[in-house]
Amino acid sequence: MRTPIVGGNWKMHTTRAEALALLVALRDGLADLGGVEVAVFPPAPWLGDASNILEGSNVAVGVQNVYWEPRGAFTGEQSAAMLVGAARHVLVGHSERRHVFGETDADVSRKLRSILDAGLHPVLAVGELQEERDAGATMDVLRRQLDGALTGLDELPTTLVVAYEPVWAIGTGRTATPEAAQEACAAVRSMVAERFEAAAASGLRVQYGGSVTPQNIEVLAAQPDIDGALVGGASLNAEAFIAICRALAAAKRI
Ligand code: PGA
């Protein structure tokens, strides 16, 4: 069975005071929760605070971005190697990185490799634009993004998590229907099975992301190929994020 995993992507939000309060609330509010892995992705300036506050807790620390070179003259960037000890998970391929900052599938692939090489756990985000869905191209986009990211890997990394995040659902309040989310998450799994071994793909955790809230998580979590959620807006509210984590743990409990 796959342990569900929930990520809270804070994006470029929170003052330091807000971040500290949120970290403490999550540490305390999730202290008794089992059966689900939880990670938060705070802005980089709060990573030290996050590791200190969350040390020994049920909540792991993640980072939102890395550059693929290990070191060098790359002003403003941070390497995966530099994050070892400070974080466990790294987001890669998020739609905002692709569409606001112009990251290509080749960039995503290089970043993914550097994350794996550093021994960190990648959360690879994929998802189609509204126009691509309207044109019936969703599956082609998912295949292109997965193939682009996973190229050159001989085996499916056991630490990899894939987040299916339709771009039109991110930050819009327009959550995918549970059926559409299930269809895409199942497709991700079968594309990964075609590329690697079916047995490995059956262990892959696939999250859904895009306007997840405590109100809609239950129907999403009931879908067999949805193993967790990547949460943006609702992860800035401790009560809402904790409710989402609890709902996932309850839905996937065997
Ligand atoms: P949202 O963001 O929950 O605010 O839609 C999701 C994400 O970007 O990962």
What are the residue ranges spanned by the domains of the chain? 5-86+110-176+194-206+222-253
Nearest atom, ligand 1, residue 95 CA? 8
Would you call 236 helix, strand, or coil by DSSP? helix
Q: Judge whether 165 counts as a catalytic residue.
A: yes
What's the pTM value of the predicted model, to 2 decimals? 0.97
pLDDT value of residue 183: 98
Q: How high is the pLDDT of residue 254?
A: 75
> What residue's CA is closest to ligand 1, atom 7?
232
Q: Which residues contact 72 (CB under 8 A, 6 or more apart)?
A: none
Catalytic, 89? Answer no
Tell me which residue of 201, 195, 122, 123 sits closest to 164, measured CA to CA. Answer: 123
Q: Is the CB of 165 under 6 A from ligand 1?
A: yes
User: Is the minimum distance from the CB of 209 to ligand 1 under 6 angstroms?
Assistant: yes
Residues whose CB is less than 8 angstroms from the CB of residue 154 and which lie 6 or more positions away in sequence, other chains included: none
State the closest ligand 1 atom to the C-alpha of 231, by its place in the atom list counted from 1: 3
pLDDT value at residue 1: 84
Assign domain 5-86+110-176+194-206+222-253 to its CATH superfamily: Aldolase class I (3.20.20.70)
Could you tell me if the CB of 166 is within 6 A of ligand 1? no
The CA radius of gyration of the chain, in Å to the nearest whole number, is 17
Q: What percentage of the chain exceeds 70 in pLDDT?
A: 100
Query: Does ligand 1 have an atom closer than 6 angstroms to the CB of 217?
Result: no
- DSSP for residue 114: H
What is the Å distance from ligand 1's center to 71 Cα? 30
Catalytic residue among 94, 96, 121, 132: 94
- What is the mean pLDDT for each group of 10 consecutive residues in the chain (254 residues)? 96 98 98 97 98 97 98 97 96 98 98 98 98 98 98 96 98 97 98 94 97 98 98 98 98 89
Ligand 1 centroid, distance to 208 Cα (angstroms): 10
